[in-house]
Homo-oligomer: A and B are copies of this chain.
Amino acid sequence: MIRQEQEYYMREALFEADRARIIGEVPIGCVIVWKGQIIGRGHNLREHSQDATLHAEILAIQEANAFLKSWRLEAAQLFVTLEPCPMCSGAIINSRIAEVYYGAADPKAGTVGSLMNLLQDSRFNHQAKVTAGVLQAECADRLKTFFRDIRRRRRKKC
């Protein structure tokens, strides 16, 4: 996939991240692409749902599975604004997604290059092609701005 296409889909993931931000959730968004079509979208909903499993990637994978009526997403590409955590990396392995593109790295919990690389561990029965740093600055800025604004609001309250 050429860089322009990668950035097009990452902008769609950023649009999902903005939907999370608007409702006060940590702004992380994800889309899943299959044959050039977006078949799954998701944004972080942990606080609103009070469900620890509702990360952007899980919701997008569930929507893509429902669209294809199959748990196998072998021909799909996943775009996510932040490097996946262990749960989401595992869901990518379980759904056999072929390619993963992410924006910002997550040095605290990222398992696709930062702390380890679950998606390219040959001991699992599936590996994915990984491209890091797609619209990295924009994806990282969304998070930085979100947490800066939270700190400012807290200071004002004090």
Contact = CB atoms under 8 A, between A and B. Distances in A.
A71 B61 CA distance: 20
Contacts of A115: 121, 123-124
Interface stretch (A6-14, A88-96, A150-158): A88-96
A94 B50 contact: no
Interface in A37-82: 46-47, 49-53, 55, 58, 61-62, 65-66, 69-73
Interface residues of A, number: 39
Copies per complex of this chain: 2
Contacts of A96: 52
Contact of A50 (B47, B51, B69): B69
Contacts of A121: 115
A87 interface: yes
22 contacts: A50-B69, A50-B70, A50-B71, A51-B65, A51-B66, A51-B71, A52-B65, A52-B71, A52-B72, A52-B95, A53-B91, A53-B94, A86-B87, A86-B93, A87-B87, A87-B89, A87-B90, A87-B94, A89-B90, A90-B90, A115-B124, A116-B116
